[in-house]
Structure 1
Amino acid sequence: MDSPLPPAAIKRLGQNFLVDPNIVRKIVSLAELTPTDTVLEIGPGRGILTEALCRAAGHVTAIEVDPRLHAYLTGQQRGLSNLTLVLADAMTYPIEHLPIGTIVVANLPYYLSTPLLFRLLNQHNRFHRLILMLQNEVADRLVAKPGSSAYGALSVMAQYTADITKAFKVSGQCFRPRPEVGSAVVLLRARKQGDLKPEEESRLATLVKAAFAHRRKTLANSLRDKGYDQKLVAAALNSLHIPLSARGEVLSITQFIELTRHLYGGFSSLRH
């Protein structure tokens, strides 16, 4: 009996299926998997990466939002005893229940990559390593430095929680259908302990998002618009020797941490 044909890609779901086995090998090699590792894959698609992950790791949980692909994969991957296929939305699936030390390996849907990244980064104490296929532009934002046009809230929060390497670019010819944008694979190694306590990290995230809410405005005006006390902001910037005319994009991660401490007050000393 012939195998069923795989479902066609749905454009609104950002489906571009990886078809190049060489790229699969490079991704799995970058992940440095062992037979004791637990892996989370988001968007397994037609399963080319899923099979390779199952051969390299102890257990793989693959989350697929498309019922057609989930049904197809259920039939195709029947022989993989260490695979758990889940029909769910990765934005709502309880990833916080996955084992500590789970490794994320995924070709993220490009239309949802930024909110998914923030969700994964919020669990940086759970996911020690993330190997992600992303739109090249998003990969550049992850590794961007202060003062560059790509530097933003995602850059700051990603670099606060992880050491990031843009590992390699991936040609559009490696996908079916071919995407309209370039792709890249990034490696994020989560830091075991950040500079701030968990409750302080949420304040940092709020401050950073406010700082980049209006890129053309000064940092002081952006924070004022988000409800921060203008006098307190001015005093904090002055204390840190940051000009009132500065925009958020020129601040380093260390400066954002120090600014958070000044604005909220009472923070413990930075932990190194």
Structure 2
Amino acid sequence: MPKSKKSRSSSSHHVAPAKPYSTGGSLNNNNKNNPSDRKLTANTNLIAPNTSIGQHFLKNPAVVTSIIQKAAVKPTDVVLEIGPGTGNMTVPLLQRAKSVVALEYDPRMVREVLKRVQNSPEEHKLKVIQGDAIHSQWPFFDLCVANIPYQISSAIVFKLLAHRPMFRCAVLMVQEEFALRLSARPGEALYCRLSVNTQLLAKVDQLLKVGKNNFRPPPKVESRVVRIELKNPPPPVNFVEWDGMIRLLFNRKNKTLRSVLMTKSTLKLLEENRRTWKSLQQQQQQQQQSNNKSMTMHVDGDEETTDESIQQILEKILARHEYKDKRARNLDLDDFLQLLADFHTEGIHFSA
């Protein structure tokens, strides 16, 4: 876009400490020294996207309009936009929402999006925070709309799932395969830990498929827009324990649950967790007795002689609901919730 004369903008701009995004494992990065990118920038005076941090600008106005319509932005909404880039989606969001908080890592983009609204009626409604979306503290928002760098999609989704206070929904542009993982069902090839954890805490809808040519520069993968709506109230599950169990079972999702749980390393881990839990339970009992001014010193002294081994306990749990020969890839949320309850009944606990 043409350069404007320097002037002091009244839009709020906060600079926070930032860490660069990890570029490892990105599926949509192109070489930032791509000659075609340099040629495009030189010929059109457009700011060059930094693909090393996953910048692929959404350039199709029709797709932008569709995303905002599907997000159902209200005039009373505070919208969080992660990665506004040059502001192609920021401006129409400002026209519909009460305000927009734009979280941007690249200082060049901060300047661009501020210039985009300079001296416009929407200028006072925009607050730009420079920082890393993963490590920054997010402000209050009603709605999140974002075309996020694909290599940080998992981190962003998990941060959204854990964010409090609850927001109405998040509408995200993500890599197509990642989008399909979010809503994959038991037995499907893409069903994984991400699928289970997301579906425990939220409802996921596939909204829109977006082709590569809608971006500058085109990424190497297709994209999709998804809506994530948190379940309210959230399920009464300790998510740290839940994720610890799910992580363990999906580490080898094609193996039977018995094969996964009966390895020496897993048995040792679960035994250590069980001893820690029992020790904490005994401390709580002793504390309670002390508070009640009881002189009883009973601490289940004969428990050690009658204890089942961790392997025997696991065999009993797996036989209870015929889980022994089942695989994590085929279990649904109810199955995992039942397993976690059975583990807890037997004093077996997990950590992430």
Structure 1 residue matching 2:100: 3-state secondary structure: strand
**C-alpha displacement at 1:144, in angstroms?**
0.5
Structure 1 residue matching 2:270: 3-state secondary structure: coil
Structure 1 residue matching 2:163: 3-state secondary structure: coil
* Partner in structure 2 of residue 127 of structure 1: 167
Q: Which moved more, 1:210-219 or 1:226-235?
A: 226-235
Q: Is the 8 A contact 1:6 1:46 kept in 2?
A: no
Q: 1:2 to 1:168 in 2, by over 3 A?
A: closer
Determine the C-alpha separation between the residues in 1 that align with 2:245 and 2:336. Answer: 8
Deviations 1:119-167 (A, max 9, x none): 1112275222011111000111011000111001111111111111111
Match of 2:247 among 197, 209, 217: 209
Q: Give 1:19-58 correspondences, 5 Å limit.
A: 19-58=59-98
> Does structure 1 residue 141 correspond to structure 2 residue 221?
no
TM-score (structure 1 length as normaliser): 0.88
Q: 1:63 to 1:234 in 2, by over 3 A?
A: farther
Match of 2:334 among 254, 263, 267: 254
Deviations 1:223-245 (A, max 9, x none): 55452355343332222321x23
Q: Give 1:89-108 correspondences, 5 Å limit.
A: 89-95=132-138, 97-99=139-141, 102-108=142-148
Structure 1 residue matching 2:325: 3-state secondary structure: coil
* Partner in structure 1 of residue 317 of structure 2: 236
Q: Is the 8 A contact 1:19 1:174 kept in 2?
A: yes
Determine the C-alpha separation between the residues in 1 that align with 2:194 and 2:225. Answer: 16
Determine the C-alpha separation between the residues in 2 that align with 1:252 and 1:191. Answer: 17
**C-alpha displacement at 1:60, in angstroms?**
1.0
* Partner in structure 1 of residue 53 of structure 2: 13
Q: 1:246 to 1:17 in 2, by over 3 A?
A: same
> Does structure 1 residue 157 correspond to structure 2 residue 197?
yes
Determine the C-alpha separation between the residues in 2 that align with 1:124 and 1:254. Answer: 25
Determine the C-alpha separation between the residues in 2 that align with 1:43 and 1:266. Answer: 46
Q: 1:118 to 1:46 in 2, by over 3 A?
A: same
**C-alpha displacement at 1:266, in angstroms?**
9.0
> Does structure 1 residue 265 correspond to structure 2 residue 306?
no
**C-alpha displacement at 1:6, in angstroms?**
4.3
User: How many residue pairs were aligned?
Assistant: 261
* Partner in structure 2 of residue 3 of structure 1: 3
Percent of aligned pairs with the same residue?
30
Q: 1:54 to 1:264 in 2, by over 3 A?
A: same
Name the structure where strand makes up a greater proportion of residues: 1
Structure 1 residue matching 2:143: 3-state secondary structure: strand
* Partner in structure 1 of residue 15 of structure 2: none
Q: Which moved more, 1:202-211 or 1:172-181?
A: 202-211
Q: Which of 1 and 2 has greater Rg?
A: 2
* Partner in structure 1 of residue 30 of structure 2: none
**C-alpha displacement at 1:221, in angstroms?**
4.0
Q: Which moved more, 1:129-138 or 1:118-127?
A: 118-127
**C-alpha displacement at 1:203, in angstroms?**
1.3
TM-score (structure 2 length as normaliser): 0.69
| Unpaired runs of at least 5, structure 2 | 5-44, 272-309, 348-352
**C-alpha displacement at 1:253, in angstroms?**
0.9
Deviations 1:190-213 (A, max 9, x none): 11023314xx22211221122212
**C-alpha displacement at 1:71, in angstroms?**
2.1
Deviations 1:71-112 (A, max 9, x none): 2222223332111111110101112x425xx21111111111
Q: Which amino acid aligns with 1:81?
A: H
Q: Is the 8 A contact 1:124 1:190 kept in 2?
A: no
Q: 1:147 to 1:84 in 2, by over 3 A?
A: same
Q: Give 1:217-236 correspondences, 5 Å limit.
A: 217-223=255-261, 225-226=265-266, 227-229=269-271, 231=311, 232-236=313-317
**How large is the Cα RMSD of the aligned pairs?**
2.2
* Partner in structure 2 of residue 270 of structure 1: none
Q: Which amino acid aligns with 1:83?
A: L
Q: 1:222 to 1:125 in 2, by over 3 A?
A: farther
